[in-house]
Structure 1
Amino acid sequence: MKTLNYETLKQSNYEGYLLEDAPVRVLQFGEGNFMRGFVDYFIDQMNEKAGFDTKVTLVQPISQGAFRLKDIINEQEGLYTLYLQGFQDGQEVREKRVISAVKNCLNAYEDWNEVLDMAKKPDLRFITCNTTEAGIAYDPTCQFADAPAASYPAKLTQFLFARFQQQLPGFIILACELIDNNGKELEKCVLQHAKDWNLGEDFIQWIQKENVFCSTLVDRIVTGYPRAEADAMNAENGYVDNTLDTGEIFGVWVIEGPQSLRDELPFEKAGLPIIVTDDHKPYKEQKVRILNGAHTSMVLGAFLAGQTIVRDCMYDPTISAYMNEAIYNEIIPTLSLSKEDCEQFAKAVTERFKNPFIDHELLAISLNSTAKWKARVLPSLLGYVDKFHKLPKALTTSLASYIAFYRGKELDADGLKAVNPVTKQPYTIKDDADVLEFFAANSDKPNAQLVSLVLGNTSFWGQDLNAIEGLHDAVTSALDTIDNEGAMAAMQACLNKGE
């Protein structure tokens, strides 16, 4: 079979949407599966449905290894096939689209002069990026004369200075890294480099006045190259696509920036799930506490009840009802967005958990559950207590499930070993060393004493949770139920009406 490119599609009489020629208006730092399955997909949709007429040049921000993705992308003239699949509006959905928004790919280390030449293009208006959570960090060892500088913020500073020298307008910069206030943190790093490199006050003012650094919230699981199914997909398509990409059908992009972005980026005209807001934090709170909080509060108890993947949990009447109790009656009442918005998001979350194309293992989600419970569940528990002056049953039980799951005894280099009470199969708990050492040392203690020690471990929670009235006794009672009747019984108890 021939490799995917424009000529291959023409020869096959491909009838889908394609944009072969258009000005490059987006420079994207990050060529990976996520950005191609999220940002570039949205750009492709805007091209088709709103006349955006824009191409994207990708920049691989790290040195290439043996697998030269840049070469593969360029051989395919930027084209790739994206499959979005999942559960939507009660139906199984699988969509296929050839994405033609990408023009080419450069590597920052092999093609740095070409990257800098992009700064001279008047049409260039947007910069998007996803350089991983560690990508937005200030590195004082980076120097202006480096070609290129090692860190992404330093590379961006070099690029912005090249633009400044052309006396051209600045950019709308859309940061997609998974850190808080990603756009603002990126701007801080850029300004620090400009100052440290003595690039001048005029340049610093140009950065601040001519560029808009947008913090954004991205939400889509992109599962990437479908290694097991790739041959069958290529056979069905009639061409070889070495950059196949897959992801879930759900996707939301929340952008914190001026409302004028609506004029420059025609999201609404294209009917895309993209929100421009003055403050993205309530949307992040919603995602973290409903989507991630539901995962964290449910999966440990479900695992102890004998389940192994998220999808199966959604078809268990007790586990799904327990999760809904936590979401609708305990988490949503504590959030700042409207009840209607939150319930709509929660409905989508349930469908995402049912995705028949993703086997999301509970043990994989359990990784580092201590920090996850603190960030994702504890704020809802505290907010509920503060608002209603009583304990939320499901979230309280999730804390008991966390303790039960972490009661391992044998600690080795791989983690803390424990045994599932239902399946009798061993499993490994993975977390920070101090967490594992704590449980290895205390797991044999009576439940009431263990609960007191866990709640009182301020290094876990940032506060002594024993101070919350009734929490110690409620968690101990739930832990006793897990031990004597099983995790399923403890979840069922949260569904019983009355106090």
Structure 2
Amino acid sequence: MQSTPILQFGTSRFLQAHIDLFVSQAMDRGQVVGPITIVQSSGDSARAKRLEGLVGAYPVRVEGLIEGRKVQETITVRSIVRALTTATDWPEIARIFVEEVSIVLSNTGDKGFAPQPCDMDAAFDQAMSYPAKLTQLLRLRFEANGKPIQIMPMELIVENGAVLKKRVLEIAQNDSADFKRYLDEDVVWVNSLVDRIVSEPLEPAGAVAEPYALWAIEDQPKLQLPCEHESIKTVASLDEIEALKLFVLNLGHSFFADRWLARKGSADVVMRQLMEDENELAALKKVYSEEVRPAFVVAGLKDEFDAYVRVTLDRFANPFLDHKIADIAQNHQQKVERRIKAMLDWAIAKGDQSDKPILQEIVDRNTETA
């Protein structure tokens, strides 16, 4: 079996259409990168066919708009050569982790990160959280050879690398000082932000995704990228990209959702239908230009904001994507807090004192009913 320098925890359709696709394209372009061993950490036997289907080749359909132009293409992904599950393949996963791997990827979601009662146990338990399983593997690698390794979580958690490192150190609190020093100095923990709408799975493996894709990786000493790709960007800080995503893309979603909730709209309404409605589109553009843009201008991000809004409008208008407003509107009050109220606070912190009556009204209404 071919050696795999990349070990990936998670088999989601997002990963299939994101980093797995990036590595495959890099390999096709002649880069000496990959391939990948993927690991299903949930142990869900119902997904066995997906695991089998990921090895060798699977399709990703890319459908959407680029600068208003329709794009439809199918890309064959060939970066995955081995698929395992922690439920039955733990000894082989441990061997690969110790002997082959230089980069570990993960996207296990909030559930995978959630602490479990058995996390502090000395022996491996399938019920452990992902951070605990990772601690088990790092302990084995340290005991076997102590080689440095890079950990790159892709979960949608702010400072995801730092959060994962903190949790692993908590789990390892009773380990030796040498092991804790290894975790702190020889393991590179990487913060990053991922973005791509992957709308549906294909069977037995593969996915449908929009053209836009981003993996923003915070630079640091010793950082090594899994591959070079136009969708992978190394940045000094994730703050600006996080602000754009949260206060443009996510804020736009919640702005539409708030209007839909207020008029008790049909549960079948999708984003592209709102983009086709002149009144709805005008309302969104007004908020972007009059209430959001001034904050980004003051922050010195005018050009970045204008470019990101153009891309965002294409993403919202994707004619191939059925993105239901009813889904976006779930947990609406919490989203208003994180996306709209946080934007108002961010604007003030940046020095923008302009009035934002539309956004403030949304915040007030959702605060009153919270």
SS of alignment partner, residue 342 of structure 1: helix
1:224-249 Cα distance to aligned partner (Å, 9 max, x none): 324xxxxxxxxxxxxxx621311111
- Structure 1 residue 320: deviation in Å? 0.9
Distance in 2 separating the partners of 1:209 and 1:259: 11
1:257 aligns with 2:235: no
Residue 288 of structure 2 aligns with which residue? 327
Distance in 1 separating the partners of 2:215 and 2:128: 28
1:47-78 Cα distance to aligned partner (Å, 9 max, x none): 222513311000100122334246533xx634
Residue 105 of structure 1 aligns with which residue? 83
Distance in 2 separating the partners of 1:77 and 1:138: 30
Change (3 A) 1:316 1:243: same
> Residue 126 of structure 1 aligns to which amino acid in structure 2?
I
Give yes or no for contact 1:322–1:394 (8 Å, CA) kept in 2.
Answer: no
Structure 1 segment 228-243 matched on structure 2, within 5 A: 242-243=204-205
1:376-403 Cα distance to aligned partner (Å, 9 max, x none): 0112234556745453133235457x66
SS of alignment partner, residue 6 of structure 2: strand
Distance in 2 separating the partners of 1:317 and 1:384: 28
Distance in 1 separating the partners of 2:227 and 2:8: 18
Structure 1 segment 73-88 matched on structure 2, within 5 A: 73=53, 77-88=55-66
Residue 259 of structure 2 aligns with which residue? 301
Residue 339 of structure 1 aligns with which residue? 302
1:126-179 Cα distance to aligned partner (Å, 9 max, x none): 100011123224435321213446111110011111111222422211111122
Where does structure 1 lack aligned partners over 5 or more consecutive residues?
1-20, 227-240, 404-453, 461-499
Give yes or no for contact 1:301–1:398 (8 Å, CA) kept in 2.
Answer: no
Distance in 1 separating the partners of 2:101 and 2:295: 42
SS of alignment partner, residue 218 of structure 1: strand
Rg larger for: 1
1:290 aligns with 2:251: no
1:172 aligns with 2:150: yes
TM-score, length basis structure 2: 0.90
TM-score, length basis structure 1: 0.68
1:135 aligns with 2:82: no
SS of alignment partner, residue 377 of structure 1: helix
Residue 393 of structure 1 aligns with which residue? 357
Distance in 1 separating the partners of 2:259 and 2:114: 36
Change (3 A) 1:149 1:207: farther
> Residue 31 of structure 1 aligns to which amino acid in structure 2?
T
Change (3 A) 1:67 1:396: same
Give yes or no for contact 1:136–1:185 (8 Å, CA) kept in 2.
Answer: no
Give yes or no for contact 1:296–1:369 (8 Å, CA) kept in 2.
Answer: yes
> Residue 291 of structure 2 aligns to which amino acid in structure 1?
E
1:201 aligns with 2:201: no
Distance in 2 separating the partners of 1:388 and 1:217: 26
> Residue 53 of structure 1 aligns to which amino acid in structure 2?
V
- For these two proteins, the number of residue pairs brought into alignment is 363
Residue 32 of structure 1 aligns with which residue? 12
1:311 aligns with 2:288: no
SS of alignment partner, residue 113 of structure 2: coil
Change (3 A) 1:149 1:84: same
Give yes or no for contact 1:384–1:392 (8 Å, CA) kept in 2.
Answer: no
Identity percentage over the alignment? 25
Give yes or no for contact 1:55–1:102 (8 Å, CA) kept in 2.
Answer: yes
Where does structure 2 lack aligned partners over 5 or more consecutive residues?
none
Change (3 A) 1:382 1:195: closer
Distance in 2 separating the partners of 1:131 and 1:70: 16
Change (3 A) 1:337 1:252: farther
- Structure 1 residue 332: deviation in Å? 3.0
- Structure 1 residue 283: deviation in Å? 1.3
Distance in 2 separating the partners of 1:202 and 1:385: 46
SS of alignment partner, residue 141 of structure 1: coil
Give yes or no for contact 2:337–2:363 (8 Å, CA) kept in 1.
Answer: no
Residue 223 of structure 1 aligns with which residue? 199
Distance in 2 separating the partners of 1:37 and 1:94: 14
Distance in 1 separating the partners of 2:33 and 2:236: 27
- Structure 1 residue 337: deviation in Å? 6.0
1:32-54 Cα distance to aligned partner (Å, 9 max, x none): 21111111111112222251331
Give yes or no for contact 2:341–2:363 (8 Å, CA) kept in 1.
Answer: no
- Structure 1 residue 266: deviation in Å? 4.1
SS of alignment partner, residue 172 of structure 1: strand
1:380 aligns with 2:324: no
